[in-house]
Structures are given as structure tokens and as C-alpha cells.
Amino acid sequence: MDAALPLPRYIDATDPSPLSFSVCSLVADQTKYDRLLASFARLGFTPENTEFLAADNRNGNVFDGYTWTKTLLAHARGRYVIFCHDDVELIEDGYDALLGWTDWLDRHDPSWLLAGVAGGIYKPGGFKHRQLALHISDINGADRRRGTVPGRVETLDECFILMRRTRPVISSYDLNGFHYYGPDICLQAELLGGSSYAIDFHLWHHGQGQKGRPFRQLRRRFAGKYQHFFPGRILNCTTGPVILGAAPPAAPPVEPGDAGPA
Amino acid sequence: MDAALPLPRYIDATDPSPLSFSVCSLVADQTKYDRLLASFARLGFTPENTEFLAADNRNGNVFDGYTWTKTLLAHARGRYVIFCHDDVELIEDGYDALLGWTDWLDRHDPSWLLAGVAGGIYKPGGFKHRQLALHISDINGADRRRGTVPGRVETLDECFILMRRTRPVISSYDLNGFHYYGPDICLQAELLGGSSYAIDFHLWHHGQGQKGRPFRQLRRRFAGKYQHFFPGRILNCTTGPVILGAAPPAAPPVEPGDAGPA
């Protein structure tokens, strides 16, 4: 009977990843993506230490912001998984700098789950004014700094987000589209009991930042979802604040003693 | 310059899993685990369609209930990932039945994220009496049925939980120990916007169900965490109800007698 037993793989807690990084991108534009690839190669990301995975939107939107990270995470083999837009370009900080930041995060806060380059400072009690933490070059200017990096944030811009493959965070299944998936995954990290950081990893984000009707619609749905769990909170996002309304109607009253001892 | 470009892998939305199932177990006892392996082999789980992964606790607790699923998920290659105790034994339902249930779930509720064999019926508005949905053989009796399976649940017993590898749910990072990780992952599924089901997949769970001091301590920490997000809710768990208190401060104070925020 023992001869018929399947052969299991016994697994311990060490991370056997053969690669340091899985660089995952949502790719719609080949020219932009080639610029990304060349910039990573120039700054120390080699085939020996890094794999590049592309969620293929070149012929139409097969993926949106909430689905592509799940699919690529299931393929990734790196110790750290980076999710970044195809219009990101590394300029000075590279492989060594990024590994240095993961070491810093491990030492500074073992409960870290996400790291990015731009976000809204963590202060769940609320703000009068928007407070961001970032070091980035983008449509608003080269080599911009706001707040203090590294620093804990409550949201991250989705242009660049990093996590550990064996300590993942998943995006919402009840939101879709191309906005707010950075803030969404940060709130999911918070619900999981972990934290998010903006680090000083300077890159170019060549994106435009569109705030049309789909943006406003998704902001409404995003706020409608999270006001259940964080009522009254004002979330600082790189795209502007999001006000979470009061808690929706509560569950019907419960009489004391109904459910037995806790 | 193009010659220097790294070679990315372009990935589409199809799931290329070479296997149907990854059967993952938290293994402390070799004899029990061998019984599990033999029972799966007997009921249609072959090396061609299934891999068996063991979180190796045979020489001490390397893993707890909240860490082992994350580690094994990062190794799993099956389309469906089963997380089950080492003291589970299949008795009549097997490979075909389980694939049939995944088909049923896909048709019945595409937002399903988790499936198990025993849970507390989903009714976030609260209960007067505990209501479970299950079909199981365990220490409480052979071939027991409660409620209706299949049916939506708000918690699952951790003896057997299944998810899709490309639509995962992650356990809390701020809880640890060997209790409540079934209810925890179900609440995380709900926070992600998905649902959980008890299905009619009859098996033996040979476990004892210990409710000592570690159980009560973890219930307190579990309730303390989730009352922030589901204030006033009474959670039906197979191990008994858990009363989530009123929302903690931050929001306007709640008067005695109020069930929760208006």
C-alpha cells in the first residue's frame, strides 16, 4: 500500500527563489516598454538576477489594473515582485539600490508588505491638507521631492509597486478599471495587517495622468467600497484626496446574550 | 541597443497550469499524512493531475496556520490549490466530484474565492442562533449534515479550503497561531470583494478540535482585529460564534445600547 503513495514535496520556510526580481509590467505600448527594459538592463538587472513578465495589452485591454497583478504574480519566480507601468524608465537608481531598500524595509519594519516611489503619508486620523511623500521625475517636473522618503504611506501610486512574492497582497476583486489600484492594494495590505512605504528610488514616470470620467466613476466606487471599513477617513492619494463617507447603516441591533459566550 | 534588451515573457489571461490540483497540507504527523495521501490517490488524484505539497512541521512548528498557506501558495502550480489538515481522509468523493464543484461554483457565482466542507452560513446581519452548513464525518459523528450545502458561508473550517491559484486570498499578517485562520481567510475574501462556499464534498476529518487557552486568546485577538471592519457583527464559526464588538473610537462615540454607528 505504501508503494502507491504519491510523492509529496516537503517544504520549509526558506525562500528558494532562483531570482531576486520579477519585473512585471502592464504593457500596451512596445516602444515605451522597450525603453523600460533597456533602462533596467542598464542599471544592473540581468538575466541571472531578474525575469521580465509582461501582461500583454498590446492588442487591446485583456487586463485591467486589478487583474494583471494577480495573473503575473502566479507566474513570478523572483524573491521580490515589481509591478510597474510600461512608461517607467530607470535613470540613476538600479538593482543595488533597490535591494538596499528591501534590506532597509526588513530592518525598519518587518511588517512591511508594499513599497513604491510615491504615495500619501500614512495618517488614518485624517488631514486638512494633502500630504505626499515622493521622489520622482514625471509630467509635473524632474527630480521632484515631497515629504520624506523613506516613509510610511497609506496609498501608493500604481506606477511602481514592489512586494515579496511569499508575502503577497492581492487587489480587490470587486473593482475594475485603470485607476485607484495602487490605493486599493495599499488598503488591502492594511486590512491584512501590514504596512506600505514610499522609498527613495528615483525614476521617470512618463505617464500623463488622466482624470476623465472613468477616473471619477472609479473614485466613487472605490470610496463606496472602503467607507464600509474605514468610515470618515480622508485618504491621501497622489491623484488627490478621497473622502470616505460615514459608515452605511449598521446591522440590525443585537440583543445582549443572544449568541452565547464570546 | 535593441540587442541589449532583456527578453520578456508576454503573458495572456489563460491559466497555463499543468496540473488541476495542488494539495497542500500542514504536516506534523507522518502516519496521518500517509493516510491522507493514500486516500487522495485512491480517489483519482494522480501524479498527472495533482501535486502534493507539505508544509513541513514534522520536527517542530516551522509554520503556523497563518504562514503555511502563503509559503505553499508560492510553490503551487495547480489550477486549484487545496489547503487541508494532515488528518483529513477522503472516503467517497474524489477528483471528479471536486472538479464538478469548481464548475458549479464558476456557474453559480463567478465571484467565489474560497470553498470548503464546513462553515457558518453567510448572514452578516446577525443571528439569534448559530447556523452552520456542512457535510462531514468527524469527532462529532459520521456523515453529519447541517444546513444546506452547497451554500454561501461567512466562515470556513480550516480542515479543508480550496481556492483558484490565479485568484488567491491571503491570510492576515497580524495574527498567528493555529486557530481562526479559516474564518480569517474568509473575512479577507469578503474584504477583497469575493465570496466563500461550503460544498458537499464528504470527507473524514480525524481532528480533535482543541479549545484551550491558545484558542481563547486567539479568539480575542481575532475579534479585536475584525471589530474595526465589521463592528457589531456576530460571526458564525464551526468552533462557535464570535461577537465583534462595537467600532473602536476614531468615529463619533457610540452611546451605550447602540448597536453600531448610525
Successive 10-residue mean pLDDT values, chain B, 262 residues: 78 90 97 98 97 97 96 96 97 98 98 98 75 95 96 97 97 97 98 98 90 94 97 93 79 35 32
Interchain CB distance below 8 Å, A229 and B231: no
Tell me which of B39, B43, B61, B192 to substitute to probe the interface with A (most A C-beta atoms closer than 10 Å). Answer: B192
Q: Write out chain A residues lying below 8 Å of B54, CB-based.
A: 8-11
Tell me which of B1, B10, B113, B228 to substitute to probe the interface with A (most A C-beta atoms closer than 10 Å). Answer: B10
Interaxial angle between packed helices A181-191 and B181-191, expressed in degrees from 0 to 180 and rounded to the nearest 10? 160
Neighbours of B30 (CB within 10 A): 11
Query: A71: exposed, middle or buried (C-beta count within 10 Å: 0-12, 13-18, 19+)?
Result: buried
Percentage of residues of chain A with pLDDT beyond 70:
91
Q: Report the pLDDT value the prediction gives residue B258, as an integer from 0 to 100.
A: 32
Calculate how close chain A gets to B104, using CA atoms only, in Å.
19
Q: Write out chain B residues lying below 8 Å of A12, CB-based.
A: 56, 62
Q: Indicate the DSSP class of residue B140.
A: T
Look at residues B239, B222, B223 and name the one whose alpha carbon lies nearest to residue B231.
Answer: B223
Partner residue opposite A259 with nearest CB, options B241, B259, B260? B241
Calculate how close chain B gets to A129, using CA atoms only, in Å.
19
Interchain CB distance below 8 Å, B173 and A165: no
Partner residue opposite A53 with nearest CB, options B11, B15, B194? B11
Average pLDDT, chain A: 91
Look at residues B13, B30, B20 and name the one whose alpha carbon lies nearest to residue B80.
Answer: B20
Tell me which of A51, A73, A88, A170 to substitute to probe the interface with B (most B C-beta atoms closer than 10 Å). Answer: A170
Partner residue opposite A54 with nearest CB, options B8, B25, B259? B8
Q: Write out chain A residues lying below 8 Å of B194, CB-based.
A: 173-174
Percentage of residues of chain A with pLDDT beyond 90:
84
A202 pLDDT more than 80: yes
**pLDDT tens-digit series, residues A63-105:** 999 999 999 999 999 999 999 999 999 999 999 999 999 999 9
**pLDDT tens-digit series, residues A20-67:** 999 999 999 999 999 999 999 999 999 999 999 999 999 999 999 999
Instruction: Report helix, strand or coil for A164.
Output: strand
pTM metric for this prediction = 0.93
Q: Report the pLDDT value the prediction gives residue A245, as an integer from 0 to 100.
A: 87
